[in-house]
RNA sequence: GGCAGCGUAGCUCAGUGGUAGAGCAGGGGAAUCAUAAUCCCUUGGUCGGGGGUUCAAAUCCCUCCGCUGCUACCA
């Protein structure tokens, strides 16, 4: 049987992630992992914090901590918040782990020995104030074309021209503002990506039919523009050191570029998982050679990460000549905007994972984000839309359905599954509809089409309400108790079904729904087929429990309050 | 500047050659089990503009406009 390996793009270490980061990678990966586990597939869901690079060092500086401490603390925070969002990682590792260091150095050594790396001298901006080299975008100055005074060294935000730091007039450090900067030469290791253009293109085209358009077009664009060799080392303190046996002694004190070691951490974190669980070489069985032949590998990420997963990481693996697993299905997401603008960590604009949970439980966000995932184009978050979806879909359609049938059972059937009466034409029709809808829902999830899947899930919730209205046990109870009983029995079986089907998306609420009927296992399995059997499975006389309100509504007052608090479109 | 994606009902989005769709919002009705929650019916679009191919175009081609992103040292 096929085993399922799932990785989510690694959240960067410099602070709590916003909803845009969540919906692009971690959340869809989690929903997919839960779906696969529910279906009974052996599944491994791996994630980690991405801890290297200049922004991490600067964030630590700003926090007044050494980088190692800063990363350790931030990792713990992100892990905690992820758990509270019910992200069901099998392991949440760290790109700064020993395991990743060993693997990254292994790849670099193999690539060096095989001649796919070479040492080149580059010119870079060095700032005396910080005593460090600055990436282009950390150098600011006046744009030589439009005069904009805060143009960055890589691009002018005002006139959008692509720049080089040496183009800037009056260049200075964006960190300290110091103008004491100079261009220095520095030796770096380059990955000869250009040698792999044909191999890479063949691989990408082999996925013509099973990768989203967005992913294919971005990957092809990089190839079509001519793949350049890429520097894979940096002059930084914090990072995975380049081993002494690479680079003929010219690379002392350098570390690998974050985008070289971050994807390798997918493998590294799997090794962290195996080491932590005493599983020995099991990590290798998910990634390497014959042992991993039965593994199907899925990656989830935002569109900004696509080049690194379609070009950089695959080239690293191809260049190693070793049989590491390449991605099979790659799901790329667009961006979600906040009230018409960007989510921004630096400007504190938008909603972040920790503050989101202060407002409402994880399931509210999970459902909204998945139902409106930016799959085909960027989508837009507004508080009104969010409140509307939560109130209508979760509170009115799903919550109220569970509530009305369980309350009715408690009031009229002593809170037990009634055994009288039998299913008739109404029930048969419903079963036919649900056989179809559940199959559709399952197929959409399997194809990683989340908007369509969630629309189908919602339609299944609606079908419950439609059925109850037609069956109208509250009417029949007055004249034909057996007929009313059959309707209630079906209603309760539907609650049972919704508890199963909703679990990948809204695990906490799904558990509460399931437990209205009976205790829920840790992984709520996919409902057995056919529906005719599943929807007649509850035993007569079984006690059920009407749950408390599953979803509270978002009030207009809350919407107003949150818009102000989170700096939405209330422009002066 | 180059490249890519997007532009369909008031809103959020499906729909890739064969008589324009869904959900929400709006309008009318039914029901009274339920978190005033539900269910049924319904109004609403010259598919960004223009040109072309075709018996037939939201869909293919050209062009223009708008929005967003990427442009290799942010990650």
One DSSP character per residue, A17-62 reads: -BHHHIIIIIHHHHHHHHHHHHTT--EEEEEEEB--SHHHHHHHHH
Q: How far apart are the first and last CA of chain A?
A: 59
Indicate the DSSP class of residue A537: -
Distance from residue A160 (CA) to nucleotide B64 (C1'), in Å? 22
The C-alpha angle A140, A146, A151, rounded to 5 degrees, equals: 15
Supply the pLDDT for residue A334: 85
Supply the pLDDT for residue A346: 67
Q: How far apart are CA A156 and CA A147, in angstroms?
A: 10
Q: Which nucleotide is nearest to A228 (CA to C1')?
A: B72
Supply the pLDDT for residue A34: 98
Q: Which residue is nearest to nucleotide B22 (CA to C1')?
A: A455
Which positions of chain A have pLDDT values less than 50?
569-572
Give exposure, A373-389, as e/b (b: 16+ Cβ within 10 Å). bbbeeebebbbeebbeb
Distance from residue A563 (CA) to nucleotide B10 (C1'), in Å? 21
Measured in degrees and rounded to the nearest 5, phi and psi for residue A543 equal -75, 135
Distances (CA, A) of A444 to A115, A250, A395, A438, A447: 44, 52, 24, 10, 5
Supply the pLDDT for residue A569: 43
Q: Which nucleotide is nearest to A58 (CA to C1')?
A: B74
Give the position of tokens 């793009």.
A9
Beta bridge partners of A330: A299
Distance from residue A387 (CA) to nucleotide B24 (C1'), in Å? 11
CB under 8 A, 24+ apart: contacts of A406-409: A406/A492, A406/A495, A406/A516, A406/A544, A406/A545, A406/A546, A406/A547, A407/A546, A408/A473, A408/A474, A408/A488, A408/A491, A409/A488, A409/A491, A409/A492, A409/A544, A409/A546
3-state secondary structure of A572: coil
Q: Which residue is nearest to nucleotide B13 (CA to C1')?
A: A372
Distance from residue A426 (CA) to nucleotide B34 (C1'), in Å? 21
- In chain A, % of residues over pLDDT 70: 98
Q: Which nucleotides of B are covered by protein (CB under 7 A)?
A: 1-7, 11-16, 22-25, 31-35, 37-40, 68-75
Question: Which two structure tokens, joined as six digits, stand for A419?
Answer: 């055994």
3-state secondary structure of A494: helix
Supply the pLDDT for residue A472: 96
> Is CATH 1.10.1380.10 the right assignment for the domain spanning A395-534?
no
Distance from residue A25 (CA) to nucleotide B57 (C1'), in Å? 37
């Amino acid at each position: 049987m096929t085993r399922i390996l799932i990785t989510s793009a690694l959240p960067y270490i410099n602070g709590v992630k916003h909803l845009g980061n969540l919906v692009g990678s971690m959340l869809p990966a989690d929903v997919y992992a839960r779906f696969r586990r529910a279906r009974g597939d052996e599944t491994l869901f791996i994630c980690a914090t991405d801890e290297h690079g200049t922004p991490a060092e600067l964030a630590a500086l700003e926090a007044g901590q050494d980088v190692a401490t800063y990363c350790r603390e931030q990792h713990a925070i992100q892990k905690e918040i992820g758990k509270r969002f019910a992200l069901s990682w099998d392991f949440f590792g760290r790109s700064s782990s020993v395991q990743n260091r060993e693997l990254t150095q292994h790849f670099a050594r193999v690539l060096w020995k095989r001649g796919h790396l070479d040492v080149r001298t580059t010119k870079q901006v060095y700032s005396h104030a910080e005593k460090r080299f600055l990436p282009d975008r950390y150098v600011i100055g006046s744009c030589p074309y439009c005069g904009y005074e805060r143009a960055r060294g890589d691009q002018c935000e005002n006139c959008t021209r692509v720049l080089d730091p040496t183009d800037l007039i009056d260049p200075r450090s964006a960190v300290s503002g110091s103008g004491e900067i100079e261009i220095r030469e520095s030796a770096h290791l380059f990955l000869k990506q250009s040698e792999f253009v044909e191999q890479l293109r063949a691989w990408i085209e082999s996925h013509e039919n099973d990768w989203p358009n967005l992913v294919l077009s971005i990957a092809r664009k990089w190839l079509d523009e001519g793949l350049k060799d890429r520097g894979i080392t940096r002059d930084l303190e914090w990072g995975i050191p380049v081993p002494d046996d690479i680079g003929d002694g010219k690379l002392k004190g350098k570390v690998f570029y974050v985008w070289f070691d971050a994807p390798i951490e997918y493998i590294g974190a799997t090794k962290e998982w195996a080491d932590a669980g005493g599983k020995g070489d099991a990590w290798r069985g998910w990634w390497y050679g014959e042992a991993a032949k039965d593994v199907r590998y899925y990656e989830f990420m935002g569109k900004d990460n696509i080049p690194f997963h379609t070009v950089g990481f695959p080239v690293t693996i191809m260049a190693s000549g070793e049989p590491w697993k390449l991605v099979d299905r790659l799901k790329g997401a667009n961006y979600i905007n906040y009230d018409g603008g960007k989510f921004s960590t630096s400007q504190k604009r938008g909603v972040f994972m920790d503050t989101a949970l202060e407002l409402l439980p994880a399931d509210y966000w999970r459902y909204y984000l998945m139902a409106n995932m930016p799959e085909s184009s960027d989508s837009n978050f507004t508080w009104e839309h969010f409140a509307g979806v939560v109130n209508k879909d979760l509170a009115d359609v799903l919550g109220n359905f569970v509530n009305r049938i369980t309350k009715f059972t408690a009031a009229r059937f002593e809170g037990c599954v009634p055994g009288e009466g039998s299913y008739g034409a109404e029930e048969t029709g419903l079963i036919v509809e649900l056989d179809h809808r559940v199959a559709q829902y399952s197929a959409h999830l399997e194809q990683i089409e989340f908007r369509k899947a969630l629309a189908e899930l919602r339609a299944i919730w609606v079908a419950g309400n439609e059925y109850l209205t037609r069956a109208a046990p509250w009417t029949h109870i007055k004249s034909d108790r057996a007929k009313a009983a059959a309707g209630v029995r079906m209603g309760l079986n539907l609650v049972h079904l919704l508890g199963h089907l909703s679990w990948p998306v809204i695990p906490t609420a799904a558990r509460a729904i399931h437990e209205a009927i009976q205790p829920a296992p840790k992984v709520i399995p996919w409902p057995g087929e056919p529906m005719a059997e599943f929807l007649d499975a509850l035993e007569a006389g079984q006690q059920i429990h009407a749950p408390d309100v599953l979803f509270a509504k978002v009030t207009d007052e809350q919407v107003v309050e949150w818009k102000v608090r989170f700096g939405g479109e209330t422009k002066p």
